[in-house]
Amino acid sequence: MTDGALDDTGPVDALLVLSFGGPEGQEDVIPFLENVTRGRGIPAERLEEVATHYRQLGGRSPINDLNREIITNVEAELARRGRNLPVYFGNRNWTPMIEEAVRQMTADGIRTAAVFATSAWGGYSGCAQYQEDIARAREQVPGAPTMVRLRQFYDHPLFIERFATDVRAAVASAAPGARVIFTAHSVPEAADAVAGPPALGGRLYSRQVAEASRLVAEAAGVADHDLVWQSRSGPPSVPWLEPDVVDHVRELSETTGVRDVVIVPIGFISDHVEVI
């Protein structure tokens, strides 16, 4: 987006920051996890197991506050450029929900909104599901504005350089020979395989994560790195992208004697429970 306009769609009169959402108190944790896993048949005991990570942080994920910080920074930059472009905030899984944001935009007379989804990736959960969120919200709000999602940014130069800057600093402060490990959220192998050009075997999401990791490592001057996955859920019988970050670090320690690692959470643009 440049100067409040999308190159291929014309001018917009609002920006919506669309994100995953997170609980903001102990009483929110289980309802939030139920929203995240609705329709997937995840047993209650598994939700309780995941909930312990949130409860250790007081039941509050940092993600909403970090998104509000993003919005404050974007508003300041728009003001610096003399752009009167209102910025709204909506989530998939917790308040403020995207439907609330679309309802407010409609009441405010917004006609066309650019949508920045805080996921850099293609695939279902990183892209198509956000498109579904947008379509669902527009269906539920009469007179909803046209909404145009901004492009996937996994290879955007500013995205790469931001990670590369932090990787350079982390490597410089780590022990000599520390192993650099990139990690992103795992998905079922079957889901990854069907997203993307059939000629390339699908795998749009995992290929984008691998490419972003390569670009960051190259920009940071890292000669060699590993790519692993984290936060899988669902029944053990369903294959997900591997190796898991914990298994990989343990194997490095046991088989190669590596004692120091730099973990790069390339799959996430801000700290939240998945990273912490």
How do the domains of the chain map onto residue ranges? Answer: 5-22+61-149, 157-264
Which pLDDT tens digits describe the chain residue by residue (276 residues)? Answer: 333 334 445 689 999 999 999 999 999 999 999 999 888 788 889 899 989 999 998 999 999 999 999 999 999 999 999 999 999 999 999 999 999 999 999 999 999 999 999 999 998 888 889 999 999 999 999 999 999 999 999 999 999 999 999 999 999 999 999 999 999 999 999 989 887 777 667 899 999 999 999 999 999 999 999 999 998 877 788 999 999 999 999 999 999 989 999 999 999 988 778 888
One DSSP character per residue, 172-191 reads HHSPTTPEEEEEEE--BHHH
Contact between 62 and 271 under an 8 Å Cβ cutoff? The reply is yes
Evaluate whether 5-22+61-149 and 157-264 have a shared fold. yes
Q: How many CB atoms neighbour CB 188 within 10 A?
A: 17
- Among 187, 131, 140, 106, smallest CA distance to 18 is for 131
In this structure, which CATH number among 2.30.42.10, 3.40.50.620, 3.40.50.10890, 3.40.50.1400 belongs to the domain 5-22+61-149?
A: 3.40.50.1400
| Alpha carbon separation from 274 to 21, 63, 119, 145, 221 (Å, rounded) | 12, 10, 14, 32, 27
Could you tell me the fold of the domain covering 157-264? Answer: Rossmann fold (3.40.50)
- Among 191, 181, 204, 274, smallest CA distance to 240 is for 191
- Among 264, 241, 261, 265, smallest CA distance to 252 is for 261
